[in-house]
Amino acid sequence: MKIYRPDDENTEFLASVSIVIPIFNEVENTPLMYEELTHAMQNCGREYELIFVDDGSVDGTRERLHELAAHDARVKLVLFRRNYGQSAAMLAGMQHATLDYVVTIDGDLQNDPRDIPMMLSHLDNGYDLVHGWRKDRQDKLVSRKIPSKVANWLISKTTGFPIHDLGCTLKAIRREIASQIELYGEMHRFIPILAHQLGAKSIEVVTNHRARQFGETKYGIGRTFRVVLDLMTVKFMLSYLSSPMKLFGKLGLWVTGAGVLSVGATIAMRLLSGVDMTGNPLLLLGALSVILGVQFFSLGLLGEMCVRIYYGDEKNSPYQVRETVNFTSEEFELKVTRAA
């Protein structure tokens, strides 16, 4: 998209880019990531800023980031007080972004910065979000590839959103869309679905994926179970957020119907066979199980609703910042206004 700046209406510019890099214990990868991003963006010919969000690193990563920021004003740092998780880091980076487009990329060098110009060109052509597809993924088969394929298939079928790879951090988003996305818990992997809910026009593109050279992955097979729980939340938000009674009403009708049938069967057993109604163990067990199941399920969904309300309050945030570097006072005021 060609942008005409107000100060010179006859001159057109390429849209500028804020690149958000969540970092956690990546001391070896951090300078290499900076070099690759700088090379890719300088060849791209766009104004850009690099926003590194340190998620409580304890291995020397924070010191490396300070060194980079000291000699390049385009490197901006958001340093957390402790580890809050990737969703909080990505949310902080997007909230601190000040330019036209927002790109998110992992700090472990597995995403290839050379794919960024291609993704930005899709935004220039009218798309609101471009998400990467690690078609030839360079990860371990059992602990990473298979769980990822299962999770992506399950998410695609459950939400009706056709996508091959929700776990790819490499994404390009228009800032006006990114600023409206609410992230908490581990919801960062659902950004394309959340953006689609906002009416964003999105496209999935094949991106290069590389094997990890330094450090260790922060994710394992146990993450699959958390994805399933987050999927339940996303499905609820997509289908029943505006009218939760549609869900709870159906559950109430089903439970009530099952209760009526159970009582009817118990009465029939009493009349036909003389079985004691009050001592029927199947009736008592079934009633107790249904009641407890509905209560737990309802409490879980209501709890998610409360979390959304909590984080939707401008006074609350899922992260706490210890320090920011290379942000001007005007940019900080813009960030606060956008978050509110």
Superfamily of domain 2-240+314-339: Spore Coat Polysaccharide Biosynthesis Protein SpsA; Chain A (3.90.550.10)
Q: Give backbone dihedrals phi and psi of 206, rounded to 5 degrees, phi first.
A: -75, 130
Across-strand partners of 209? 111
Q: Nearest-CA neighbor of 64 among 327, 18, 86, 75? A: 75
Quote the Cα angle for 249-253-255, to 5°.
115
pTM for the structure as a whole: 0.71
**DSSP H stretches of helix in the chain:** 29-44, 61-71, 86-96, 116-124, 146-159, 175-178, 191-197, 223-240, 245-273, 281-312, 329-339
Each residue's pLDDT expressed in tens, for the chain with a length of 340 residues: 455 444 555 445 789 999 999 999 889 999 999 999 999 998 888 999 999 999 999 989 999 999 999 999 999 999 999 998 888 899 999 999 999 999 999 988 889 999 999 999 999 999 999 998 888 776 565 555 666 666 666 766 666 677 777 778 899 999 999 988 877 767 787 888 888 888 889 899 999 888 877 766 655 555 566 667 777 777 776 776 656 666 776 777 777 777 777 777 777 777 777 777 677 766 776 677 778 777 777 766 776 677 667 666 655 566 788 888 888 765 555 554 454 4
Q: Give backbone dihedrals phi and psi of 309, rounded to 5 degrees, phi first.
A: -65, -40
Residue-range domain boundaries for the chain: 2-240+314-339, 245-312
> What angle do the packed helices 223-240 and 281-312 form, to 10 degrees?
80
Alpha-carbon gap, residue 149 to 209, rounded angstroms: 15
How far are the Cα atoms of 12, 277, 278, 294, 295 from residue 281, in angstroms, in the given order? 77, 9, 8, 20, 21
153 class by beta-carbon count within 10 Å (0-12 exposed, 13-18 middle, 19+ buried): exposed
